[in-house]
Chain A
Amino acid sequence: MFETIPIIKSLLRNKTGPILIIIQLAITIAIVSNALFFINQRVEKINRPTGIANEEIVRTWVKANHADADMEYIIKRDLAHIRAMEGVIDATVISAVPLSNSGSASGFQIEPGEDQEDIPANYYQMDEHGINTLGMKLIDGRNFTVGEVEFRKRTDIPKNINAIATKKLADKLFPGESALGKTIYDGRLEIHIIGIVESMLGAWLNWEHTGNALFYPGETLTDSTNYLIRTHKDETEKVMLSVVESLRALDSTRLIVDEKTIETVLKESYSNDYAMIKILSVVVGMLILVNALGIIGLTTFWVNQRRKQIGVRRALGANRLAISRYFILENMILCLVAAAAGSMLAFAASDMMVRRYSVDLLDWPFVPFTGLCILLLTIVAASVPAWQASKISPAEATASV
């Protein structure tokens, strides 16, 4: 573009303003590209498929009022009752609530004995309605039979048990082959894999082994337990309340507290990530505002400084478009220089944060994307003062006051 060289020359002659704007834009580009990257990471994390029908499940917790209660009878009675209720698709007993940041894990080996490499996995105990209640997809093998579901005392440790694994765990344990029919070990417990489900995030959403999950048939009897109930997406609150009511009606001496939809559990577990997204978005928004105002201010100032010069150009035949174009081009050049400096700053900052705070390194597409957005911003912000500049009449060229 023909005006570029004169623009650059005039910028170089009066360096202070341009340098300040470049610094400001560069820092902004560095901050915004990192912020957008973090936001994207969190959004991706929150949108991970959970593997279960989290919008359709609710949870209740019940605790018997005395230590000698016959929990096996109570659980079977409660579940039969719940499953017969209107609106309930299915229900199961379960040892811990998925996606709640609370649960049990252990290391599983493919050969028995000490000194073996073990794969960590989250494990649950549930009954034969578990898979259907959770809405998991069985991709190989079979579900538990009623006969396999055992209710054990805490001191009853089985030596042998069947289990269903998630595909991720199965592939980790037996890469390249089918895990079906194979045996794995947890200490002295022998586990036979009889089924594989597609996926399940598990209990801990920030865990490095998320997705490794194992399901056992049965439940260890203590004085309290969790029930999961599956219903239709828009009936969860209603069904939850009616389940709690009928459980109380069955036995009002016991404690029934903490009922929640799994959707609520999930949101609570992700609450830090939601918060981060909100805060970062506010920061990005404010930065854009501050920069827009700064550019409008500076451009207006320059226009005022050069009234005479603009007047002269108009007198010499420049049309109004040419005048506006000059100022917009000037801002674009500054923005491009800022983009170059800002990219380096963005990666330098990201590198520092990787080393000190163990976050991930900035993904490079975010930098040009941010640069482009800031460029558009400068053009829009400069356009109003630039248009005002074009209205300066040629008479200013010869005015002496």
Chain B
Amino acid sequence: MWTYYFKLSWLSIRKTPVLSVLMVLCIAVGIASCLTTFTMYSVISSNPLAHKNESVFAVQLDSWDPDNEYFDANGIPIQLTYRDARAIMESDIPDKTVIMFNSGISIQRADGTGESTVRKMRVTTRDFFSVFDVDFVKGTPWDDEADRQGENVVVINESLQKLMFGTDESLGKPLSLEGELYTVVGVVDDDWHLVPNVYDLNNNPFDTPPFLYIPFMNVQEHPFQNWGNTNGWNSAVIDSYQAYLDSELIWIQGWVELSTLDTKQQFSNFLQAYINEQKKIGRFQRPLKYLLNTPEEWLDINEVVGSDTRVLLVLSISFLLVCLVNTIVMLLAKFLKKAPEAGVRRALGASRQSIFSQHVCEALLIGVLGAILGLLFSWQGLAGVRALYQSYNQVATLSGFTVLAAIVLAIVTSFLSGAFPAWRISHTQPASYLKTN
């Protein structure tokens, strides 16, 4: 029966070309706007570390001003002081510890030729690469010894390798960072990119990854620029680099991997004991508070999904609703106009059920056509979003899931819009349409 219904539907659609085109357009536009904002929303709110949500944690310690709570996020500082970061590094409880900050540095070829250039750099402990699943195309992260001593080693990415060395033979070769020589030990895949970059949300959560990485302990000797945020609450005079390191300024991000509940409990105890110890020497004057946040919680605390995105989502769903109602109106108009035909069929013995099915079929066909057109519009819509929001280049792309979602959405929408008119027409009295008066 269904092939018959589809044939009927196709003929019927062709009989009212203008109306059919309008209906298809209506559904297409509604679906496109929904898909575009939904794609954006789902990427912006995605958690790239979902698979490690139970084992990787961002550390927060409330070392802030006794008179005021921290002015942002969840009322606790979202970064660590140097002293607290070092204390966490000393603990052997976590399976892995990442202590790091965002920086930038001027880079030049070791032989002094060529122009120097400035690139984004991450100053971090070596566990960064394993905790955040960084892909290497060559070499490996530096070893434990280099990590502890803060040796002059560097991991660069493919783009930087190409820029500085021209070839892909950079392992073991030196690179000049701000006048000092560092040896390349590994090369990172250009395609590695956490979207959003949950490990450090101080700047743009959708920004490109760093071009190079050096061991955190280099910070003991060198004051590197901080390209993230530095915040403080007390008025201690900072008149030397050592004073800066000893101060209550927060500028370091800390993550730990605690793979069992037991380890997590042990580490919590450690943090608690540490804070109590510090209280005795006059630090941590606020009520004892520390948090181990999962990546999901961390994204939430840092408000990655802005209100703009949410408003757009609400807008899209309402827009789809308008398109839905509009399609119902148009289908109703069309079906009731063809009521005489349905009357004849009923007189010839068709059941209400089959009249209903026949008309729903027509609505579904329009829906499928609308889905195809809608996907085309979505593709354009997402290109438009990429053009408007520079930082969303990674975010606004069509995926297999989107295509599936479009088709499902179209079918549901067209069924909903077709059901009522189809029901109406299946319930008309055939006799009234057979009369000529």
Min CB–CB distance B224 → chain A (angstroms): 12
Interface pick from A70-78, A89-97, A172-180, A354-362: A354-362
Partner of B436, one of A23, A283, A357, A401: A401
A257, B118: Cβ atoms closer than 8 Å: yes
In the assembled complex, which residues on chain A have CB atoms less than 8 Å from the CB atom of B348?
A: none
Residue B261 at the A interface, CB < 8 A? no
Partner of A297, one of B22, B33, B321: B22
A304:B326 contact, CB within 8 angstroms: no
The answer to whether A38 has its CB under 8 Å from any CB of chain B is: yes
Are A27 and B330 neighbours in the complex by a CB distance under 8 Å?
no
Known contacts A275-B389, A297-B22; A357/B307 CB under 8 A? yes
Q: Given the known inter-chain contacts A155-B240, A293-B22, please indicate yes or no for A279 contacting B312, CB distance below 8 A.
A: yes
Whether A20 lies near B389 (C-beta < 8 A) is no
Task: Assess whether B388 is interfacial by the CB under 8 Å rule.
Answer: yes
Tell whether A364 is near chain B: CB-to-CB under 8 Å.
no
Q: Does A188 contact B (CB under 8 A)?
A: yes
Residues 313 to 337 of chain B near chain A (Cβ within 8 Å): 314-315, 318-319, 321-323, 325-326, 328-330, 332-334, 336-337
Digit string of B345-378 for contact with A (CB within 8 Å is 1, else 0)? 0000000000000000000000000000000000
Kindly list chain A residues whose C-beta atoms are within 8 Å of the C-beta of B134: none
Give the CA-CA distance A16 to B424 in the complex, in Å: 10
Q: Kindly supply a per-residue 1/0 record for chain A positions 253-297, scoring 1 wherever the CB is within 8 Å of any chain B CB and 0 otherwise.
A: 001010000000000000110111011100100110011011001
Given the known interface contacts A271-B390, A290-B29, the answer about A301 and B315 at a Cβ–Cβ threshold of 8 Å is: no
Closest to A115 in B: B67
* In the complex, A305 has a CB within 8 A of chain B: yes
Which of A28-36, A314-322, A367-375, A386-394 interfaces with chain B? Answer: A28-36
Note all chain A residues with C-beta closer than 8 A to B266. none
B310 touching A357 by the CB < 8 A rule?
Answer: yes
How many residue pairs link A and B with beta carbons under 8 A? The number is 124
A23 touches B311 (CB 8 A): no
On whether the beta carbons of A24 and B437 are closer than 8 Å, the reply is: no
Within 8 A of B (CB), among A329-386: 349, 353, 356-359
Q: Does A145 contact B (CB under 8 A)?
A: no
Q: How far is the CA of A274 from the CA of B384 in the complex (A)?
A: 13
The answer to whether A86 has its CB under 8 Å from any CB of chain B is no
Cβ of A35 and Cβ of B336 under 8 Å apart?
no
1/0 contact string of B385-429 vs chain A (CB within 8 Å): 100111000000000000000000000000000000000100000
Q: Is the CB of B238 within 8 A of A157?
A: yes
Smallest CB separation, A340 vs chain B (Å): 17
Chain B: which residue is nearest A280 at the CB level? B315
Contacts of B318 in A (CB 8 A): 27, 30-31, 349
- A65 contacts across to B, CB distance below 8 A: 106, 116, 179
Q: How far is the CB of B333 from chain A (nearest CB, A)?
A: 4
B332, A16: Cβ atoms closer than 8 Å = yes
- A292 CB to nearest chain B CB (Å): 10
* A353–B424 CB distance below 8 A: no
As a 0/1 sequence over residues 144 to 183 of chain A, the CB contacts with chain B under 8 angstroms (1 = contact) are 0000000000011100000000000000000000000000
**Inter-chain contact B322/A291, CB cutoff 8 Å:** yes
Query: B326–A157 contact, CB under 8 A?
Result: no
What residues of A have a CB within 8 angstroms of the CB of B328 in the complex?
20
Decide if B19 is an interface residue (CB 8 Å cutoff): yes
Selected from B235, B308, B385, the residue in CB contact (under 8 A) with A187 is: B235
Give Cα A98–Cα B312 distance, bound, in whole angstroms.
30
Closest to A23 in B: B325
How far is B330's CA from A357's CA once the two chains are assembled, in angstroms?
35
Knowing A31-B318, A272-B389, A283-B315 are in contact, say whether A297-B19 is a contact too (CB < 8 A).
yes
Beyond A115-B67, A255-B106, whether A38 also contacts B33 by CB under 8 A is no
Query: With the chains together, A17 CA to B424 CA distance in Å?
Result: 12
Contact yes or no, A293 B307, CB < 8 A = no
CB distance from B335 to the nearest CB of A (A): 10
**Interface presence of B262 (CB below 8 A):** no
Q: Does B237 contact A (CB under 8 A)?
A: yes
| B329/A17 in contact, CB under 8 A | yes
In the bound assembly, the distance between CA atoms of A163 and B165 in angstroms comes to: 49
Tell yes or no: B217 within 8 A of A by CB: no
Residues of B within 8 A of A188 (CB): 235, 237
Whether B325 pairs with A24 at a CB distance below 8 angstroms is: yes
Instruction: Please indicate the chain A residues that have their CB under 8 angstroms from the CB of B310 in the complex.
Output: 356-357
- Across the interface, do A21 and B329 meet the contact criterion of CB distance under 8 Å? yes
A114 to B337, CA, bound (A): 81
Q: A187-B237, A357-B307 are in contact. List 9 more A-B contacts (CB 8 A).
A: A34-B315, A188-B235, A276-B312, A279-B312, A290-B323, A298-B330, A301-B334, A305-B336, A401-B436
User: 8 interchain pairs (CB within 8 A)?
Assistant: A27-B321, A114-B67, A155-B239, A155-B240, A157-B237, A255-B115, A298-B329, A353-B311
Residues in B lying within 8 Å of A, measured CB to CB = 19, 22, 26, 29, 33, 67, 106, 115-118, 178-179, 234-240, 307-308, 310-312, 314-315, 318-319, 321-323, 325-326, 328-330, 332-334, 336-337, 385, 388-390, 424, 436-437
10 residue pairs, one from A and one from B, having the closest CB atoms: A187-B235, A301-B333, A275-B388, A357-B307, A24-B325, A294-B326, A155-B239, A20-B329, A357-B310, A31-B318
